[in-house]
Amino acid sequence: MSSEQISSAQYITHHLTNWTYGQFPDGHWGFAQDGTQAMSMGFWAIHVDTMFWSISLGVIFLVLFRKAAKHATAGVPGGLQNFVEWVCEFVNTNVRGSFTAKNDMVAPMALTIFIWVFMMNFMDLLPVDWLPLAAGALGEHVFGVEPHHVYFKVVPSTDPNTTFGMSIAVFLLMMYYSVKVKGAAGFVGELTLHPFSSKNPALQIVFIPINFVLEFVSLIAKPLSLSLRLYGNMYAGEMIFILIALMYGGGWAMGVFGGFLQLGWAIFHILIITLQAFIFMTLAIVYMDMAHSVAEHH
């Protein structure tokens, strides 16, 4: 979709709207043609573009790493094997440094999180118009849909559904191992007996609801902060790329200036997308370590 055909506000809105499939208020199912229709579909609407890219990138990750493992050699390794070995060693080092218990699931989980989040973030480095334009042309010529009604966001981590879904999965694992390792009584004790405690039974009863409120807020804050940190950083980065893309419609001088800005921001953004994947992985490891911790104080 060219920024010369529509206003700047419409251009930005189009790029920030997901391709949504769901049930309309009258009961029929279909694709939303604008943001208002998408909102009217409610909670059970599906962001098709987010699902497509997140699943596709996950499959690519599995295929590449399986290929590297299948063709691994003790001799001189190829480029793919070198890369996979380096990533695995990097993740394993971080797990050993942050996870003090023993659980064979944590390292594969950390590897999956780091690579998958990085790949989703990496989509932000593709020019913002390329894939949406291709999707619009496909929708027009194959399905007969007007291009401005075809929405195609290509960065899954700019969708809060993705980041919340991953953080909730980590949170559920944390809750599961908290109960499994500490027992139901130990888990409840963590929520009610700290940080305030007293040897006086009557005073301890008073502290229990206060402790529960403080610990419950701290517990719920973990998945919220985990998801919102990734979403906020990636959404802001995508918005900057979109604003820079608008400059190409302002004449050759603005276009050249925008090109330099885009190059500079893309180089800097490589650090951001890697750092956000690393932070998400590290916090997931730390949360799992907390779930396995049986110390008296935490």
Give 3's pLDDT tier (boundaries 50, 70, 90): very low
CA distances from 108 to 35, 144, 241, 279, 283 (A): 38, 44, 33, 16, 15
- Token match 């990636």: residue? 234
Structure confidence at residue 251 (pLDDT): 86
Q: Determine phi and psi for 56, rounding to 5 degrees.
A: -60, -45
List, for residues 120-173, the tens digit of each pLDDT value.
Answer: 999 999 999 999 989 888 887 876 777 777 899 999 999 999 999 999 999 999
22 by DSSP, 3-state: which?
Answer: strand
Active-site positions? 225, 229, 233
44 by DSSP, 3-state: which?
Answer: coil
d(CA 174, CA 38): 33
Residue 100 within any structural domain of the chain: yes
- Inter-residue contact 6 to 14 (CB < 8 Å): yes
Please count the other Cβ atoms lying within 10 Å of the Cβ belonging to residue 102: 7
Residue 17 within any structural domain of the chain: no
Structure confidence at residue 136 (pLDDT): 86
Residue 88 within any structural domain of the chain: yes
Domain enclosing residue 102, as ranges:
50-133+155-292
- Inter-residue contact 234 to 124 (CB < 8 Å): yes
Radius of gyration of the chain (CA): 23
List, for residues 208-238, the tens digit of each pLDDT value.
Answer: 999 999 999 999 999 999 999 999 999 999 9
List, for residues 50-84, the tens digit of each pLDDT value.
Answer: 999 999 999 999 999 999 999 888 877 888 999 99
Task: Give the burial class of 14: count Cβ atoms within 10 A of its Cβ; 0-12 exposed, 13-18 middle, 19 or more buried.
Answer: buried
d(CA 218, CA 132): 40
Number of domains in the chain: 1
Give 2's pLDDT tier (boundaries 50, 70, 90): very low
Strand order from edge to edge, sheet including 29-31: 29-31, 20-23, 46-47
Average of pLDDT values for 110-125?
97
Residue 76 within any structural domain of the chain: yes
H-assigned helices in the chain: 8-15, 35-40, 48-70, 79-98, 106-122, 130-142, 160-192, 201-246, 252-292
d(CA 261, CA 257): 6
Residue 55 within any structural domain of the chain: yes
Give 48's pLDDT tier (boundaries 50, 70, 90): very high
127 by DSSP, 3-state: which?
Answer: coil
- Helix 106-122 × helix 48-70 angle, to 10°: 120
Q: Determine phi and psi for 105, rounding to 5 degrees.
A: -85, -25
d(CA 148, CA 153): 13
Residue 14 within any structural domain of the chain: no
d(CA 244, CA 49): 23
Average the pLDDT over each of 5-9, 39-43, 104-108, 230-234 and give the range with the smallest value: 5-9
pTM over the 0.95 mark? no
Structure confidence at residue 198 (pLDDT): 85
Percentage of the chain modeled with pLDDT above 70: 97
| pLDDT averaged over every residue in the chain | 92
Structure confidence at residue 295 (pLDDT): 62
Residue 119 within any structural domain of the chain: yes
CA distances from 191 to 184, 227, 297 (A): 11, 23, 11
Give 250's pLDDT tier (boundaries 50, 70, 90): confident
According to DSSP, the residues that pair with 289 across neighbouring strands are none
Residue 139 within any structural domain of the chain: no
Q: Is the dihedral of CA 119, 256, 18, 165 positive or negative?
A: positive
